[in-house]
Amino acid sequence: MLVEEEKISKLISYALRHEPARFQLELDESGFVSLDELVSKLNQVEQVDLKTEAVVALLEKSDKKRWEIQGHLIRAIYGHSLSQKIIKQAAKPPEFLYHGTAHKFVDRILAQGLLPKDRQYVHLSQEIITAIDVGKRRDHEPVLLEVLAQFAYENGVVFYQEKDGIWLSEPIPVRYLRVMP
């Protein structure tokens, strides 16, 4: 992805995930807004010359699907820090999910469980390698946590399946976590 395309991708994610009000965008309960409205507001506020077709093309060629387009609507898939909770469709998870984290957070996680912190949901991965890659953002040798997802689900923890093996959940109590060797 070119530097300019990466900037635009991050701007779109920022507007949809964290600051829709700054761009005078009103997201529906599922986090969607009109694609044309998003482009218009980004052009206004950021004084860029973005076209709707360019946003569609950018999403199609992106290897990281951080947002999605359905018809004439667009939304961030996950990562929201909005006060308005984005409604997701609950789903039964696989037996295990994974979470990569920095060593400095492990003691707190093992005391409090996995919490969404400044996001709306806990982020999990279906693939070990993806969880490790996420953990490497904050630690070159992250700790891998295995989540007993099906057991947690059977005991009332709600999970949401996203795209590309990403799962979201409500907080995960400690009893459903194991540190992987």
- Whole-number pLDDT of residue 94: 98
Q: How many Cβ atoms from other residues are within 10 Å of residue 77's Cβ?
A: 21
Domains in the chain with CATH codes: 3-76 (1.10.10.970), 97-179 (3.20.170.30)
Q: In what order do the strands lie in the sheet with 33-34?
A: 33-34, 73-76, 67-70
Give the model's pLDDT for residue 2.
65
Instruction: Note whether 66 and 57 are within 8 A (CB).
Output: no
Dump pLDDT digits (tens) for 116-141: 987 888 999 999 999 999 999 999 99
pLDDT at residue 28, as a whole number: 86
Query: In the numeric block, which tokens belong to residue 15?
Result: 């507007």
Q: What is the pLDDT of residue 81?
A: 57
pLDDT at 80: 56
Q: What is the DSSP letter of 156?
A: T
- What are the two backbone dihedrals, phi and then psi, of residue 73, each rounded to the nearest 5 degrees? -110, 155
> How confident is the model at residue 83, as a pLDDT?
57
Per-residue pLDDT of the chain (181 residues), as tens digits, is 466 888 888 889 889 888 888 999 988 888 889 999 999 999 998 888 889 998 888 888 776 677 888 899 998 876 655 556 677 889 999 999 999 999 999 999 999 999 998 788 899 999 999 999 999 999 999 999 999 999 999 999 999 998 778 899 999 999 999 999 8
**Residue type present at position 42:** L
